[in-house]
Amino acid sequence: MKKFTAGLLGLCSISLAVSQGVMANSHNDTDKVISTKDNGIKVTTLAQGLEHPWGMAFLPNGDMLVTERSGGIRRLSQSGELSGRLANVPEVVANNQGGMLDITIDPDFSENNTVYFCYSKPSDDGKPGSSSSVAKATLIDNALENVEVIFSASPVIDNGFHFGCRLVFDAEKSLYVTLGDRYKYMKEAQNTDNHFGTIVRINRDGSVPESNPFTGGDAPEVFSFGHRNVQGVTVHPDTGVVWAMEHGPKGGDEINLIKNGANYGWPEITYGIDYSGEIISDKTHMEGMEQPWLYWDPSIAPSGLVFYTGDMFKEWQGDILVGSLKFTHLRRIDVVDGKPTEQHEYLRDKGARIRDVEVDEAGAIYLLTDSPNGKVLKLTK
């Protein structure tokens, strides 16, 4: 029987190398990737024609908000009607990986109709550059009202890479925002006086929780650091611990359990190398730096991260679902006694880059496909 009690226990680092569905040797000989046929899974296209959809959030009435990296937020009704872009969405810098990225709703949405979204915000002085920023707004039908920026990563720089920008609320209603190292600034991921390569924690009004670890520094919002480009974040449904998933360079994608003030090592330690083949660091371990719960080498370019908690796919309960951009599939990581074991691939034959993964209360799984004609897919039995 599967025990769904990962918490901070049973941590292990497992190299899971994937090439055309074949598993290389790892730290545990029983670990393997199983290329799974999609028997018993019904795939329904709920919407299409989205411009590189990036993030989605369920509303209490069953509707869904979907972001488009090019700058839009759209509403998908339960009946499958896709709205035009919501009114009053702020300007984004849609450059390479930047644009309108993740979205989530307030824990008290039923009372306040508030949504939060993370995007690449233009610099305030009109000069070239952008920063990963979070705004909150009131959702009224198909429009945003009272739009307010509550956080902007510092400093503002001019490139279009590694924005991070995943969002999640914990049980205390604190908001976690993942931030990338902005590629050329990787060494700054070890500097807690800026926001490069960090996960920040803020209150719903943008203020800083008193228990944040670096409140005396120049970036008091920082909760953890030493990250490269976090593309998935979720909260464990039993323990309340925040889990995050980040892109490595060429190899070294990671899943980590996030702790207050912890250093996750980038770029001082890594299981990957530079795209050119150059060594970034010859170290994978260092005192005072966390080891990943799981890593992939070579990379699968994971995006979107959620624990499966529904009843529709009962045998999946407690497992982790992630999308793979590089290998175009949905991946399920079997979690047993808090440790990763077998991994399973689904929908690979569709050739779709999976950007985000969510699960509704009934246990249906929703995917976003990253393309100029992106889709919302629903997986049921």
Pairing outcome for strands 33-35 and 339-346: parallel
Phi, psi of 73 (to 5 degrees): -125, 130
Q: Where do runs of H (alpha helix) occur along the chain?
A: 109-112
What type of residue sits at position 165?
C
d(CA 250, CA 301): 10
- List active site positions: 162
In whole angstroms, what separates CA 242 from the centre of its chain?
11
Tens of pLDDT along the chain (381 residues)?
343 333 333 333 334 433 333 333 233 323 467 767 777 899 999 999 999 999 999 999 999 999 999 999 999 998 889 999 999 999 999 999 999 999 999 999 999 999 999 999 999 999 999 999 999 999 999 999 999 999 999 999 999 999 999 999 999 999 999 999 999 999 999 999 999 999 999 999 999 999 999 999 999 999 999 999 999 999 999 999 999 999 999 999 999 999 999 999 999 999 999 999 999 999 999 999 999 999 999 999 999 999 999 999 999 999 999 999 999 999 999 999 999 999 999 999 889 999 999 999 999 999 999 999 999 999 999
Reported residue count of the chain is 381
Q: Determine the Cα–Cα distance for residues 26 and 196; give it in Å rounded to an integer.
A: 31
DSSP reduced 3-state for 148 = strand
Query: Taking a C-beta distance cutoff of 8 angstroms, is the pair 166, 232 a contact?
Result: yes
Q: Which of 361, 379, 360 is nearest to 56 (CA)?
A: 360
